[in-house]
Amino acid sequence: MSPFTKHILFTDTDQRAKWKTETIELDQGKPESRLSALMASGGYQLRQSPAGFRSDFHCTGAPQWVFILRGEMAIGLQDGSFRHFKPGEHFYSADVLPAGAVFDGALHGHCSRQVGDSPLVTLFVRG
């Protein structure tokens, strides 16, 4: 069975948010139901955003998984690129403000927006 792909939004050494991927091995459980190792979590939140929602650039306060439950979400980076996530898709948001840095909306973080006509429903699980 193939590993689980973890899409990670992170702050690189140039202090800009970027994407990378890692794999999580599904090496536990039974052949018909493969599992990863148990991971710690620090709680979860549900969010609903109406059609038309969009945020300013911001950094993630604490690393967390973001699972799209309904609707579509676009994540924008400072370079003008956007990545879209649909129901059932996910990413790990870890683009925290670098230690000692003062937030600069033209350098740091990402923005998010709801896409389409359906409200956006997301599940945030602290990592």
Please, what sign has the CA dihedral across residues 82, 88, 47, 50? positive
pLDDT above 90 for 127: no
Please report, for the chain, the start and end positions of each structural domain, with discontinuous segments joined by +: 4-126
Query: Is domain 4-126 in CATH 3.20.20.70, yes or no?
Result: no
The CA distance from 37 to 32, in Å, is 16
Write down the pLDDT at residue 125.
98
Interval 14-21 mean pLDDT: 98
Helix-then-strand count for the chain, H and E: 0, 11
For residue range 46-79, what is the model confidence (pLDDT) as tens digits? 999 999 999 999 999 999 999 999 999 999 999 9
pLDDT tier for residue 1 given thresholds of 50, 70 and 90: low
State the CB neighbour count (10 A cutoff) for residue 121.
17
pTM above 0.85? yes
For residue range 83-116, what is the model confidence (pLDDT) as tens digits? 999 999 999 999 999 999 999 999 999 999 999 9
Write down the pLDDT at residue 90.
97
